[in-house]
């Protein structure tokens, strides 16, 4: 077995943080980010772990996408001022959750999977299903993101488990989902990120006639554009994006307009808002009016502040982009204009058109029916052993890159 993981070794984490900080000023520091000091490690020649219980399965990975969360671990961006920090965590966090694999071994009590089934990871975060614990009320209803047992010890203290970034992994069956035959292996790597986009839209569905802005058209933003038009085609949709290839892709997926030029001025003009007022600092500006709903797929100080300033009174900000650390932003419009802020954490249980199902099942249903497409998102492939090259490309973020996939076989 071989697997890539984040080592929660404090000196190593601090070293990684220092390298990232220095890399902003010293180019040679970037070379160290891909060296042995990084908190992300690649373990090879590990004895294959045995299944610890009869409800577990073994999965041979075929491929797995590279996600922003993986990059956060690679850059050790989690802050000590984050709500994540106090929660007890295992020393290893295995990377890779946008995966497709084949079941190669099943325990005697496994009911939902058999050898040869194609599967992916559904419950990636350390909740009841991941830890093989009795389900809390949220996990029982399918909303595993709200699990109350993140801080509990797992049922088994295993030295190695693995995840999507490896040749194989073991997992309790409730952590996985089936991949339908109609979706090929490459496109299957897009199911999980598509679930994030769809969940972000369904958590508070847009209404007819709304003026909507999607900030950032990376993998998730492009999926959000598409999901908005599936859920509410009777809306007017703008995108905020600079890369021409991504703008073209977003327009094909259903976007109506591109927000061009100065964001605040363009937003005021697009929505029929007031003039843009300037403060003592030319950077401090505000207008009245704005979009009914904004999906922030960027995250961070600037995008949070800008999104709040571009919303109409009682508008809705759906916060999807994040960096696993505390940020600073101007909250004045939140209370002044009575804005509604909704956070989005991955996926869960959806209620759509009278049906209740996991996001993974709904997304695959939409793909099968031709309502949603994952074609064209995967732009680059790397071998598992070349994961550092894949991360280097992701950090460089050239305009022709959307989704990077590691081939694990």
Q: What percent of the chain has pLDDT over 70?
A: 98
The first and second tokens of residue 295, run together, are 């999906």
- Cβ atoms of 137 and 73 within 8 Å: the answer is no
Q: Strands, DSSP E only, in 39-134?
A: 40-43, 56-65, 92-94, 98-106, 118-121
Kindly report, residue by residue over 115-171, the tens digit of the pLDDT.
999 999 999 989 999 999 999 999 999 999 999 999 999 999 999 999 999 999 999
Cα–Cα distance, 75 to 86 (Å, whole number)? 20
Kindly report, residue by residue over 32-58, the tens digit of the pLDDT.
778 777 889 999 999 999 999 999 999
Q: Residue range 241-256: average pLDDT?
A: 97
φ, ψ of residue 9 in degrees (nearest 5):
-105, 110
Cα–Cα distance, 334 to 313 (Å, whole number)? 9
Which domains can be identified in the chain, with CATH numbers? 3-190+376-407 (3.90.180.10), 197-343 (3.40.50.720)
Cα–Cα distance, 100 to 113 (Å, whole number)? 14
Q: Note the pTM of the prediction, 2 decimals.
A: 0.95
Cα–Cα distance, 304 to 284 (Å, whole number)? 14
How many Cβ atoms are within 10 Å of 178's Cβ, its own excluded?
A: 16
How many Cβ atoms are within 10 Å of 159's Cβ, its own excluded?
A: 8
How many Cβ atoms are within 10 Å of 348's Cβ, its own excluded?
A: 22
Contacts of residue 199, Cβ cutoff 8 Å, sequence gap at least 6: 344, 346, 347, 348, 350, 359
């Amino acid at each position: 077995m071989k697997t890539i993981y984040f080592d929660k070794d404090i000196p190593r984490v601090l070293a990684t943080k220092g390298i990232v900080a220095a890399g902003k000023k010293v180019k040679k520091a970037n070379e160290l980010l891909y060296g042995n000091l990084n908190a992300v490690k690649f373990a090879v020649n590990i004895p294959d772990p045995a299944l610890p219980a009869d409800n577990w399965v073994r999965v041979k990975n075929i491929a797995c996408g590279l996600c922003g969360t993986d990059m956060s671990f690679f850059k050790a961006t989690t802050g000590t001022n984050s709500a994540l920090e106090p929660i007890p965590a295992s020393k290893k966090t295995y990377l890779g959750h946008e995966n497709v694999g084949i079941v190669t071994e099943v325990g005697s009590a496994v009911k939902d999977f058999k050898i040869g089934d194609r599967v992916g990871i559904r419950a990636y975060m350390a909740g009841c299903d991941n830890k093989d614990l009795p389900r809390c009320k949220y996990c029982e209803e399918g909303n595993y993101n709200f699990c109350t047992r993140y801080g509990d010890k797992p049922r088994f203290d295993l030295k190695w488990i693995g995840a999507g970034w490896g040749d194989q992994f073991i997992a309790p069956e409730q952590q996985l989902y089936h991949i339908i035959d109609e979706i090929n292996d490459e496109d299957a790597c897009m199911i999980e990120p598509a679930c994030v986009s769809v969940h972000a839209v369904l958590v508070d569905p847009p209404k007819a006639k709304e003026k909507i802005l999607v900030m950032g058209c990376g993998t998730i933003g492009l999926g959000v554009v598409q999901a908005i038009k599936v859920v509410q085609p009777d809306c007017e949709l703008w995108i905020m994006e600079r890369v021409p290839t991504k703008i073209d892709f977003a327009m094909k997926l259903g976007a109506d307009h591109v927000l061009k030029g100065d964001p605040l001025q363009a937003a005021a003009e697009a929505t029929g808002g007031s003039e843009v007022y300037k403060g003592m600092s030319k950077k401090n500006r505000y207008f009245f009016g704005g979009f009914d709903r904004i999906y922030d797929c960027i995250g961070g100080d600037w995008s949070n502040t800008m999104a709040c300033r571009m919303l109409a009174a009682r508008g809705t900000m759906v916060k999807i982009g994040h960096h696993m650390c505390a940020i600073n932003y101007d909250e004045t419009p939140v209370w002044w204009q009575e804005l509604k802020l909704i956070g989005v954490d991955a996926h869960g249980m959806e209620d759509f058109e009278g049906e209740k199902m996991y996001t993974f099942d709904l997304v695959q249903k939409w793909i099968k029916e031709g309502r949603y497409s994952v074609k064209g998102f995967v732009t680059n492939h790397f071998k598992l052993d070349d994961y550092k090259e894949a991360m280097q490309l992701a950090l460089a973020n050239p305009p022709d890159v959307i989704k990077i996939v590691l081939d694990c076989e």
